[in-house]
Each structure stands twice: as structure tokens, then as C-alpha cells.
Amino acid sequence: MVAVELAHAYRLLNHGPTTLVSTAHGGRRNVMAASWSMPLDFSPPRVVVVIDSRTLTRELVEASGEFALNIPPRSLAAQTVAAGSDSGRHRDKFDHLGLAVAPASQVSAPLIVGCVGWLECRVIQEVHNEQRYDLFIAEVVAAWADPTVFSNGRWHFGDDAKRTIHYVAGGAFFETGKPFEVDAGR
Amino acid sequence: MVAVELAHAYRLLNHGPTTLVSTAHGGRRNVMAASWSMPLDFSPPRVVVVIDSRTLTRELVEASGEFALNIPPRSLAAQTVAAGSDSGRHRDKFDHLGLAVAPASQVSAPLIVGCVGWLECRVIQEVHNEQRYDLFIAEVVAAWADPTVFSNGRWHFGDDAKRTIHYVAGGAFFETGKPFEVDAGR
């Protein structure tokens, strides 16, 4: 994985891929799926993500003030669905799902090996949003990408197995599809 | 366009397509592009969207308390980029971009003909979020979709021209790509 400059971090998420939220605190760790995450600002880069109040992830985010957004490729789609339906309270989901991790540079949350993008995030505490809407705002403090599919601030997918994915419901996804450009000066 | 039951409204946005935010108030109307919109809750369906404080759209959303999220297909990609870079203060963007509109059922915002999904939204006022983060929370009060590409709560794209789109930057998009399923019971 190669560092992504913070000014380009939003481009990892701008096309709306499904993410995996990873967290750790006090010897516990967890991962859950989140389709409901998006950029909130360019610079400093900020994101929003919805984290249900009943989840272990929520406990660990609140305790640590940190999380990572991992962007899974199609090859991890089954694990993404499983991470979204299973709970981490009774077993370690990383081990159960065969997800290897690497340490982050700035946060306690582990980064998921095989994902094509990583955003290390520090929560900007907004208690009202968290309690009323399960909505978390965070600053992206470091970002990384797989250089075979993202470089110079652009995604360039080839192999289907490394395409990012977009969840619909009930185990159904879309791959990120064909790129195209329109004249922005139109 | 066919009505989408409110419990399925989130599925119009769940895969992260780029949207067009339409608004109207006091004889003025406008449209802007928003990649930064997503579902916030299932029932009642809620959404979040980022609306820059310097835009005419922001003025009209604040004045009316309403907007619509329109989901453009690939055939409207050039207009989507133009709607995101131009301002509506000096000319009517609908006319300029050749966008026809239809009246909404519940809100004052016009709905853009040719879009494949429409979400009629009423703002849930959260002044702190709006002022500090340009972040708006709204309830979806009606939803509509083009039945040739969305029915029974599912997208089913055929023709490329009707696929939804995912903005990256600088006029570059991805189409919504191939559908696939994984066993949700894994």
C-alpha cells in the first residue's frame, strides 16, 4: 500500500464504495460493513459514517475515538456481507472471516490486508449526531491505497477481483463499472 | 416514474450514485450536483447531503426546508458536471442545461425528467451541522423510480445510457457496473 496525499483522500470514497469499519480498544478489535459512509470535506479531509448504537464497533469507536475505513475489493465481498451480519461480541470476526490485518500509522484501528484503500480516521466528537442519528464525523489523518488500482489521485481498475463494490441489499452488490469522462468545461 | 415504497427508498441511494439536488422557493429554482449524499436511516427514511454555504441551492433549501435528490443516468452525465460547476445565480440552470422538470408530490422542488430516481426530501433542521459542516439531514417523504431500471426494491440496469453514475473528479465518472451476489448467510 502506498500513502495517498490527504488532499486526495476524498477520492477513495467519492464514487460511493462500500466500506469496512475497523476498530480496536483495550485489547478488543472489531470490523463491520458500512455502506453509509462518504466524504464530508476536502481539506482537512473529513468523512461521515453511520454506526448503529447496538454494535461492538460503536463501543470501540466511542472508547478509542478512532476507526479506519477499509475499502474492500470484489474478492472480499463475501467477507464484507458476513462482517455486516455477524456480531463481534462473541468471537473475533477477523479470525473468523480470515481477514489479516496490518497496523495503522496514526490510529489504533487495524487495517485490513487485501483492501484496496485505507482511511485512518479520528472522531470529531458531535454527541448529538451520534446519539440521535448514529452519525459520526471524523477527520482523515492518513490514507493509503493499492497502487495497482489507485495512483496520482485516480482509480484505474483492471482485474475484476480488485474492483471496488457497492452494496444494495440481501447480499447483492454492483461492481464499480466502466470509467468515462465528460468535458468538465461544458 | 413509479412510486417506490418508503421502506425501499434507501435502496435508490445505497450503492452511492451521484445525485442532483433540485430546489425551488419564491419563484426561484436551482439544481446542483452532489456526490456527497447517502442514506442515514431506513424507516423513516432519512438522508444526508452536503450543500456548500455559498450556493444558491443552499439559500433555497434554507428558505423552503425542502429539496429533491434526483439520480441522473449516464445520459445526463455532462449536465451533471455542468450543474456542479456553474452557478444558478445569473441564469436558470434547468433552461441552460436543457433539463425538463415535473412537479413533486410533497415538496416544492422540481423533479428532473430523465433521472432514474427521485427522492422528495424535507429538511430536519440541525443548525449546528448546517453551519459548521454544510451537512443537511432530511426525511424522504416520497420516492419514485424509472420502472425499466428499478422495481420491487431492486436496480436492474440494462442499457448503458440508463446506468447510474459515480463521480470521481475533473469530469471523470464510473458507471454502476456488473451486479453480483454473495451468500448473505455465509
pLDDT per position as a tens digit, B94-103? 999 999 999 9
What average pLDDT does range A83-104 have in this prediction?
A: 92
The larger pLDDT score, comparing residue A88 to residue B20, is at: B20
Minimal Cβ distance to A16: which of B16, B82, B183: B16
Gap from A85 CA to chain B (nearest CA, Å): 8
What average pLDDT does range A118-138 have in this prediction?
A: 98
Q: Which residues of A touch B186 (CB under 8 A)?
A: 78, 81-82
Please indicate whether, in this complex, the C-beta atoms of A179 and B184 are within 8 angstroms of each other.
Answer: no
Please indicate whether, in this complex, the C-beta atoms of B171 and A181 are within 8 angstroms of each other.
Answer: yes
Q: Are B122 and B141 in contact (CB under 8 A)?
A: yes
Coil, strand, or helix at residue A50? strand
Taking CA B41 as the corner, what is the angle to CA B37 and CA B44, rounded to the nearest 5 degrees? 115
C-beta neighbour count of B185 within 10 angstroms:
8
Nearest CA in chain B to A174: B179
Gap from A8 CA to chain B (nearest CA, Å): 10
pLDDT of residue B86: 79
Q: Which residues of A touch B81 (CB under 8 A)?
A: 182-184, 186
Nearest CA in chain B to A9: B168
The larger pLDDT score, comparing residue A88 to residue A108, is at: A108
Across the A/B interface, how many CB contacts are shorter than 8 Å? 176
A186, pLDDT greater than 60? no
Nearest CA in chain B to A182: B171
pLDDT of residue A87: 82
Gap from B49 CA to chain A (nearest CA, Å): 9
- Domain residue spans of chain A: 2-175
Determine the Cα–Cα distance for residues B158 and A27; give it in Å rounded to an integer. 48
B185, pLDDT greater than 80? no
Please indicate whether, in this complex, the C-beta atoms of A168 and B155 are within 8 angstroms of each other.
Answer: yes
When pLDDT is cut at 50, 70 and 90, the band that residue A185 belongs to is: low
Determine the Cα–Cα distance for residues B118 and B9; give it in Å rounded to an integer. 9
Element (H, E) at A172: strand A172-181
C-beta neighbour count of A132 within 10 angstroms:
12
pLDDT of residue B84: 87
When pLDDT is cut at 50, 70 and 90, the band that residue B186 belongs to is: very low
Q: Give per-residue pLDDT as tens, B120-177.
A: 999 999 999 999 999 999 999 999 999 999 999 999 999 889 999 999 999 999 999 9
* CA–CA distances in Å: residue A8 to residues A56, A69, A106, B171: 30, 15, 18, 15
Minimal Cβ distance to B15: which of A37, A78, A166: A166
Nearest CA in chain B to A74: B180
Q: Give per-residue pLDDT as tens, B48-99.
A: 999 999 999 999 999 999 999 999 999 999 999 999 887 888 899 999 999 9
pLDDT of residue A89: 86
Global ipTM: 0.95
**CATH architecture, range A2-175:** Roll (2.30)
Best mutation target, B14, B43, B79, to test chain A (most A CBs within 10 A): B14
Q: Which residues of B touch A167 (CB under 8 A)?
A: 14-15
Q: Which residues of B touch A170 (CB under 8 A)?
A: 181, 184
pLDDT of residue A86: 79
Q: What is the pTM of this model?
A: 0.96
The larger pLDDT score, comparing residue B118 to residue B183, is at: B118
When pLDDT is cut at 50, 70 and 90, the band that residue A148 belongs to is: very high
